[in-house]
Structure 1
Amino acid sequence: MSVLKETSQKYSTQFWNDSCDLKDLEYALDNNCIGATTNPIIVKSVLQNNLEFYEKEILKIIEEKPTLTEDEIAWIMIEKMAVDGAKKLEPIYNPKTGTGRISIQTNTKYCKSPDLILSQALHFATLAPNIQIKIPVTSAGVKAIEEATYHGISINATVCFSVPQAVAVAEAVERGLKRRMEEGKDNSEITPVCTIMIGRTDDYIKKVIKPQDRLIDPEALEWAGIACAKKYYTLYKERNYKTKLLTAAFRNIHHWTALVGGDLLATIPPDFQKKINGSNVDIKDQIDIPVDSKLMQQLLTVPEFVKAYDVDGMSVHEFDHYGAVIDTLTQFYQGYDELVQIIRKYILR
């Protein structure tokens, strides 16, 4: 039995495939994966790695609808990958638990507009019954999360790196659920998740520290995201939020092992799944084991970490200006631009 399969059987800790590549998804499902996800960078990579398969679809679209723009074709392909993944996951789909869902991400260019985010989320929700909608945790995104929840959509909050962001997401979901309940609407098939991109939290704190005239134990910098995840996992449980924690952006083995045992999800890249399964890992409950106090003392000397770790470290408005948010949105913009450039070559050939 693989490490991931054994973990999923021993604990409530379950995992998603951090890709919509159907071959990767098949491997993940064999190891008890219960979901999958996409984003602009993932879609671009899947298209590049399977170009022989997808170029037929692109050329067919161009032939049948030659006036479509590169952006319109790009979104057709993004939606196709999500729908194909949804079909692959359909046999395990359970709307009550959220098992068998695939996430599709709203347009990064809409990150400042709650109305545009919501409009696209409502459209995405019609693509397949087991679609989950990724919304960035910007100030606009928090508003859209409440509205999307009110409309019965299961959201996946993304571009999230901090405890205050995670709390804002959970509270927005609760407001949406309460409005539905007051109108007598059923909430039993709404299964929201909030992603904390733990590896990207680490990346940002490392970036902040690098130009400073001081040294921090490099091991401490590998635990920043985990510290935030553990803190808001505890908060979620104490406050009985319906939203579930989903960890993402794995960089090292701690990002998986340190959270095993929690009633949570981890979205794991295909290559990292194989590394976990190929490792001699002692599977044990570590979710309630705090990050080493000596490492935490060092992290708490970094103001940008304190912003991410303290419940009141940032206001919702400040989310838009937090460095990790800006860095990740920039990368998502770039990933989308590169996807469009691939499409453009077919339009101009």
Structure 2
Amino acid sequence: MMLYHLSHIDLDGYGCQYLTYRYFRDGKFYNANYGAEIRARLDEIVLDIKESDFPDERPLILITDLNLSMRDAEWLDEQINFIDAELLLLDHHISGEVSASKFDWYMLDISKSATAITYSWLRESFKFDVEGDYLTLVQAINAIDIWLSRDRLFEVGKVGLGMISGAKEINRILFPNEDRELKLFLIEWMRLYTEIEDGHIRLDSDLHGIKKEFFKDDKDDTKDNLVAIFVSKLLSKSRDRLTIKYKGYKGLLGYSLGNSSILGNRFLVDNPDYDFYMDISYRGSFSMRSNNRVDVAKIAEHIGNGGGHKNASGGKIRDYRDSFIYSEIREFIQDYLNRV
């Protein structure tokens, strides 16, 4: 069975995916915050299924730790018939009660966290974790998510909650898979600390070093430097899908990455066939870098009423339209550059 798993972007949401990934190794994973992003990710999943082939069995769309509006639930119920997919939603938010009462695929249990619900489903459906290796992790996430402050694992759950909310080193819109890998890596470490005395204190103390282990390659450095090297390599590896063009010049478009002086200049040194680097924020403001191949101050002035220096500039694009899907952001910027 091919799994398409959409989940929330907090500890509980990634906790669900930590578990399903251990059974559905070849599954496809997606994440969304509440609101409009849910529909954007569902559109993405439906399109991915339409473009795939399943000769043996129907794919399964699993949604966890997210409640659907009635409108989105009705839309999705129609879509699964068109794409011949199974659908299961495991939720614990009382706001999903109306939708849950209408659809048999909408499983609501407000007494426990989504991670605990997902764990029970995996055990009952697939004989998952018969040795109980993940039980203390599930209990820790459950304790913090539904606020069982007297639970012995509540404090380690609290550290885990901040651990995931603070893991912003990789932009999840630009690099969703790598961002998720970081968070599942951290949750695996959290699991180990649920099994030792004063695990919450030790996890809190060790977290900086744990993050460095994820980003470290063959040489140790400060975390900031390791992250910059890691993200720069991702940009080079992904450059084909990030490429934009302006009046014959070739550039790379980042999204809300920040740190343009380091990331932009490193990318341009590693990719000398590129003329400029551009990083745009969700508000439409942008920064640009070049390595003596084009005057980005003039470009910024022309496209965004900005300016700066020949190799470093910035501005803002009027009427910028943001998106949860990077390809749509890139398409908007490329169309804009073609027009101005």
TM over 0.5: no
Q: Normalized per residue, which structure has more helix?
A: 1
Q: Normalized per residue, which structure has more strand?
A: 2
TM-score of the superposition, structure 2-length normalised?
0.28
Larger Rg: 2
